Structure 1
Amino acid sequence: MINVLQLVKEYRGNHHLFNELFPLDPAKYRVTVCYLTGENNGNNLLENTVDEVIYLDLKETSLKWYNLAPANKIKKIIDGKNIDIINCHRHRATLIGVVAATMSKKSPSVFSTIHGFERKSTIRRKVIDYFFNRRLEGLILVSEALRQYVLMNNWALVSTKLHTVYNGSSFSRFINSGEKQLIRKTLFSSIPDGFWFGTAGRLVPVKNHEGLIHAFNRVARQMANCHLLIAGSGPLEKYLKGLVDELGLASKVHFLGYRTDIPEVLKTLDAFVLPSRREGLPMALLEAMASGLPVVGSRVGGIPEILQGCGAGMLVTPMDSDDLAVKMLEMAKMPSEQLHTIGILAKQRAVEGFSARAMIDGYDKIFRSTLDKHLAA
């Protein structure tokens, strides 16, 4: 039996990706999940599928690699549960996980799963990562683009330490979520019928909602029956709503706020747009595709790996609102039969190419080969 500790920086509520990834085969693994920060809100489905969930509820300011108190707490978990492998999620969790593993009697193998591109890469950060990467057994990247980025932006990082495992899901919540017109009337009866574009994600600069709104402004001027639905909340909400008012789009752009019914929201749409500035491997895009939606996505990160060559949607130049508007207009003018065909291809690509089973098998292969290598040494 392999004992795995999934170390996560913070608990911010039920996380659907972690719900599919963390419960590894119980015949092979005992899994403990530990959150460094965040309180248990009673809504974590992992409580029912892994061996134990621990909420340390530490203060964010204490999460420094040189502060040994958090690492000591993790060390006690490692030794008490005889942990063989630590899989760390996010940078601070990785640093603390490495220190804890070094302090422990067990000295487990440590992996770091990197889910997205870093906002900055300072000299100080490069120096720290250089020394900590030497202690890591491996880094797991969610796309090939991210793998290349990490390899290029870390000093003396051995390429054999890097493994690509695509995020995946069963997509069961998205495949059959009801009939479009009925859900439209139920959820959004005040929005007139027509061609509905939509997007979902935090209202933060990296998601480029501003560029999307400017592109949609051009679309709306040429097609009066188009609407844009924006699901999500975040620090840019007030600014974006002001921009919509300034452009005279208040009757066309609809801010839905934070939603827990994204599968149903997606079912009301005709097309999904993700104009991000950077992405690792966006689950929001894959979920829209699993819902049978044609998609438009920026040519950044792992998005081209999802879309290229499968006929599921269109790629656009990052931060180019004109290009985005052209592609959105092209999609809105397509015959319904063509849109339906693209939607079928999108669903097939998501479900077959990015399954939860393939993701779990990828982690299983990495973990087992690592332990086999150490046993043979």
Structure 2
Amino acid sequence: MRILHILNHTNRLNGHVHAAVDLACAQAQLGHDVCIASGGGDFDPLLHKNNVATAMVDHQRKPVNLLKSSFALRKHVHAWQPDIVHAHMMTSAVLAWPICRLSGTPLITTVHNEFEKSAILMGLGNRVIAVSEAVRASMLRRGIPSSKLCVVLNGTIGSVRSEGRSRTPVDLPSPSILFVGGLHPRKGLPDLFEAFRLAHEQHPEARLVIVGEGPFQTNYMEMVAKMECASAVAFLGAKEDPFPWMAAADIFVLPSHADPAPLVLSEAREAGCAVIGSKVDGIPQLLEYGAAGILVPPHDPPALAAVLCELLGEPARMQEWKDKSQVHLDRLTISRVAHETLDIYGSALAAGSKNAAVAA
């Protein structure tokens, strides 16, 4: 099968990019011809190493630029002749839709950022992949027909991005609490800071480590600097591969207010952390609805602090949740994601063949 993925860029530190790169490389490993059309980025050498071709299609949202991008994509589709076009972001879907309509190529879209209003445009696809059951339910409420919607839960274990990674834990003080992600309001970091402040009063030996960067980094550092526990909090910035920090941490916390299906949870579970996540969007599904991680209400620092205190105060309880993080871990592999996605491609191709036969 010839598969063309389209996304805005291939730079690191963006979840949808990681998911698309993982999928494209896994499909190439299964023997398919795969290409990514994007604005390019850090992952291009990795893609080429794994037999994934790349094409330049600039996604900057300027009228003249988008017109040029449309012509570039149309030319590439005509020359490369994909069996399937798979768009991963709104601009990609809008660029691809008329071209796929004219060429008769099935368009598959994946809803990575369901919280954005523009996600409704992903309904342009012949098949719309939701990255969790929660995203599927949200897209149904927004009017996407159930006949189009499919769920492929995010998973990243075994991806080419992890090949050759260091699994040696970095040196972190114990007990350590870790957050990895973008530093912006959707991730709920002020809730974590307040919860840690409350927990630190009872467990002054605890440390909080923040790995990531974002537009609110300065605000968050200033916020923490005013707390009595400020010396126990470390902002380490973004890491190309945060796994060694996960392998060293005792507790991983994701206090998000909105998160369709964060890849970081599969990595934290693989690293063997005791995992705490807010009960929103795709987080419960990624934590086996509480069997593989502790779920807490969003926007509730006291509830989060109570769970932190429970784990910090009882080493046996902490170890119990570290062990539970391994429950059904095989469901979060990129191999499973690749095969389920290929099945969706097959259904779209079969539907297209039936429509063509009827029209004839």
TM over 0.5, shorter chain: yes
Go from structure 1 to structure 2 and tell me whether the alpha carbon gap of 1:41 and 1:179 turns closer, same or farther (over 3 Å shift).
closer
Letter in 1 for 2:108: F
Whole-Å separation in 1 of the counterparts to 2:128 and 2:43: 31
Unaligned runs of 5+ in 2: none
Q: Secondary structure at 2:157's aligned position in 1?
A: coil
Superposed displacement of residue 138, structure 1: 1.0
Match of 2:127 among 138, 149, 153: 138
Task: Write out per-residue CA displacement over residues 129-182 of structure 1, whole angstroms, 9 at most, x where no aligned residue.
Answer: 4xx73x52110010000000011013xx320100000111234749995565xx
Kindly report which structure 2 residues correspond to 1:316-355, keeping only aligned pairs within 5 A, or say none: 316-335=296-315, 337-349=316-328, 351-355=329-333
What is the match of residue 21 of structure 1?
Answer: 23
Whole-Å separation in 2 of the counterparts to 1:260 and 1:239: 23
Task: Write out per-residue CA displacement over residues 274-326 of structure 1, whole angstroms, 9 at most, x where no aligned residue.
Answer: 00011111111111011011111000011111224563221111111111111
What is the match of residue 154 of structure 2?
Answer: 167
Preserved contact between residue 12 and residue 18 of structure 2 (Cα < 8 Å): no
Preserved contact between residue 13 and residue 43 of structure 1 (Cα < 8 Å): no
Superposed displacement of residue 200, structure 1: 0.3
Q: Secondary structure at 1:18's aligned position in 2?
A: helix
Q: Secondary structure at 1:276's aligned position in 2?
A: coil
State the TM-score, normalizing by the size of structure 2: 0.89
Preserved contact between residue 312 and residue 342 of structure 1 (Cα < 8 Å): yes
Whole-Å separation in 2 of the counterparts to 1:86 and 1:63: 23
Q: Give the percent of matched residue pairs that are identical in Structure 1 and Structure 2.
A: 24
Go from structure 1 to structure 2 and tell me whether the alpha carbon gap of 1:208 and 1:329 turns closer, same or farther (over 3 Å shift).
same
Alpha-carbon RMSD across the aligned residues, in angstroms, is 2.5
Q: Secondary structure at 2:47's aligned position in 1?
A: helix
2:27 paired with 1:30: no
What is the match of residue 302 of structure 1?
Answer: 282
2:14 paired with 1:11: no
Preserved contact between residue 277 and residue 296 of structure 2 (Cα < 8 Å): yes
Match of 1:311 among 281, 291, 296: 291
Unaligned runs of 5+ in 1: none
What is the match of residue 60 of structure 1?
Answer: 61
Letter in 2 for 1:252: A
Q: Secondary structure at 2:352's aligned position in 1?
A: helix
Whole-Å separation in 2 of the counterparts to 1:149 and 1:341: 33
Whole-Å separation in 2 of the counterparts to 1:281 and 1:251: 32
Go from structure 1 to structure 2 and tell me whether the alpha carbon gap of 1:58 and 1:296 turns closer, same or farther (over 3 Å shift).
closer
Preserved contact between residue 132 and residue 153 of structure 2 (Cα < 8 Å): yes
Match of 1:375 among 349, 353, 357: 353
State the TM-score, normalizing by the size of structure 1: 0.85
Go from structure 1 to structure 2 and tell me whether the alpha carbon gap of 1:30 and 1:177 turns closer, same or farther (over 3 Å shift).
closer
Match of 2:344 among 344, 366, 373: 366
Letter in 2 for 1:199: F
Whole-Å separation in 2 of the counterparts to 1:323 and 1:51: 46
Whole-Å separation in 2 of the counterparts to 1:195 and 1:63: 54
Preserved contact between residue 7 and residue 86 of structure 1 (Cα < 8 Å): yes
Whole-Å separation in 2 of the counterparts to 1:317 and 1:340: 23
- Residue correspondences, number: 349
Superposed displacement of residue 19, structure 1: 3.2
Preserved contact between residue 259 and residue 280 of structure 2 (Cα < 8 Å): yes
